[in-house]
Chain A
Amino acid sequence: MNPVSSFAATRRQVLIGAGAGLVAPGIIATPLPAAAQAPQGAVIDITRARTDPIPVAIPDLAGAGDAARIGRDIARVIQANLRNSGLFRPVDRQAFIQTPDSAAQTPRFQDWRVIGAQALVTGRVEQRGDGLRVEFRLWDVLPETQLQGTAFNAPAANWRRIAHLISDVIYERLLGEKGYFDTRVVYVSETGPRDRRTRRLAIMDQDGENHRFLTDGRFAALTPRFHPSAERIAFMSYQDRGQPRVVLFDINSGSQQVLGNFPGMTLSPRFAPDGRSVVLSATRGGDANIFVVDLASRRERQLTSGGGLDVSPCFSPDGTQIVFNSDRGGDQQLYVMDAGGGGVRRISFGNGRYATPVWSPRGDLIAFTRFGRGSFAIGVMKPDGSGERILSEGWAMEGPTFAPNGRVLMFYRESRATNSRGAGYSSRIVSIDIAGFNERPIPTPTDASDPAWSPLLS
């Protein structure tokens, strides 16, 4: 069909590979012919981007009638994504010289260079019945080359999804690592007074849009986590009069199923990276130990034993190790063991207690909560416990979750009650770059806790 661009052979095979491909249900991506020659790979050094966000111009995508409105909306979503990452600086639209319509035809690079844009995003939207065709091109302004050209065909209702896919392509082409914009977040929505909270699962796009509730709040829901397919969730549910249990939840059908056959409470579930098992903690009497439950056979295997509280297990991305939280040594610390339960070693040795370890999808870091009675902090360390860095500190915060590229964390922050009636208390989700900058709130309609970031949806 379309001739293949010479820059199309990148990591994101499906999206920008040799031919047209389905990148998500209902969204087909096709490479566009290149208008000029460009170098392979990333053009910007990511280490430099930290202190110096890349200036990028994102004029509205061109279009006629309704398509013009959609083109504007798509451009605004891309702009917000890139700005919120902290690694890009969208150029002020007031400064634009060339009109979007004209730029979509042929960029006049001089017009973009003089206003300081290093990269330029152009495109057009056409309506075709109930569907959309969205063309987008990414330009490197200084050498005047096209870095990327892709056309998306999709139902009109998917326009926001297309904007996220485009954002991810821009991120990947300019920074040399995958983006995280075509993702969702599941979290616990909290309403009502703190002693009688209603806690419901809710799901939203990573930017807070397309928000909806997954459970009705009759029974409290806590600690949701995504299956690697992003179509299932494991969470802890307070069921009618029974023990709290880890439950598997199908996002599309809404069906729920108790996992395992344990005598006590089950809590803190996480899926294995291959999606075939769940590691969790189960109590018996006053103890809590870690088990892995095979999802096909439902067979349980006990990984830890003894008198301590072993909770919050999380697999390494290669599935060979598990990090967890235990008070076996006296107070809460982090331990790593082999996935079979052997070779346990403590990795946290700083001041305070450590909890909620979560392994980066890149494998290079473990994020955690560290706390004393005066303050809480979110930090990262290497899997051997070295190189500990605190990213954020405050009255109360916990529960970090990694973006699929390992570059950004979300967690939740609580404010201190200012009187005995609990005035001033709140709980909100925030995100932060793992370098410790760009902490920003994630908008939610209610108080929020326990965020879990999905893998890339495509």
Chain B
Amino acid sequence: MTTRLLGAIAALGLLAACSNTDQNAATAGAGANTIRPGSQEDLVANVGDRVFFDFDSSQVRADQRPVLQRQAEWMGRYPTVQVQVEGHADERGTREYNLALGQRRANSARDVLVASGVAGARITTISYGKDRPAALGSDESAWAQNRRAVTVVQ
């Protein structure tokens, strides 16, 4: 806990030192008062915190790969940031299998981050299976949003 807090404070100091990047300029334009660079909000607003998967697949799609590559660059900018990648599934499967599938998705996303230069020790993974949907509907558009791996700043 304490080390994490110290890490967050260190990250704050760091971004004060390098606040003239394009990314942070964009952040400033979008309301810098509320978004702290290097934070989850920063990741969501300026990078994208999630990638989506096809039905029953844990392969990172070609169109999703750039999101993870941007995440890797962003993590390069904030070297004290630790993340957890959460794997999720849609509701059209059984609970136990989807827990394993979510883990496999989180792991696939993690592998891309590592291949893009992030140290493996900075990334943990967890699966919530189908039990924490992002979209609450029971249709294809909701399921597409729920088959996801979400990067969460710790």
Contacts and interface: CB of A to CB of B under 8 A. Distances in A.
B63 interface: no
Contact of A309 (B104, B131, B136): B104
B91 interface: yes
Contacts, number: 108
B96 A312 contact: yes
B115 to A, nearest CB: 14
A383 interface: no
A311 to B, nearest CB: 5
Given A331-B56, A417-B137, A420-B142, A450 B107 contact: no
B131 A355 contact: no
B1 to A, nearest CB: 9
B127 A449 contact: no
Given A199-B131, A399-B95, A422 B136 contact: yes
Contact of A416 (B56, B96, B138): B138
Given A244-B126, A264-B103, A286-B108, A355 B136 contact: no
B94 A399 contact: yes
A419 interface: yes
B107 A244 contact: no
Given A420-B135, A422-B136, A283 B103 contact: yes
B51 interface: no
A223 interface: yes
Contacts of A325: 94, 96-97
Contacts of B67: none
Interface residues of A, number: 50
B57 to A, nearest CB: 11
Contacts of B126: 243-244, 265
A283 B99 CA distance: 10
A417 B138 contact: yes
Nearest to A416: B138
B128 to A, nearest CB: 8
A288 B102 CA distance: 11
A195 B88 CA distance: 12
A236 to B, nearest CB: 8
Interface in B39-76: 55-56, 58
A421 B136 CA distance: 5
A119 B25 CA distance: 84
A324 to B, nearest CB: 10
Interface string B73-116: 00000000000000000011111110111011001100000000
Interface string A339-359: 000000000000001011000
A371 interface: yes
Given A265-B127, A285-B107, A286-B58, A398 B137 contact: no
A236 B108 CA distance: 23
Given A355-B93, A398-B95, A422-B136, 17 more contacts: A223-B96, A244-B99, A244-B127, A265-B127, A283-B104, A286-B104, A312-B96, A396-B91, A396-B92, A419-B137, A420-B135, A420-B136, A420-B142, A421-B137, A425-B136, A425-B138, A450-B95
Interface of B: 55-56, 58, 91-97, 99-101, 103-104, 107-108, 126-127, 131-138, 142
6 contacts: A268-B99, A309-B101, A311-B97, A325-B94, A418-B138, A450-B95
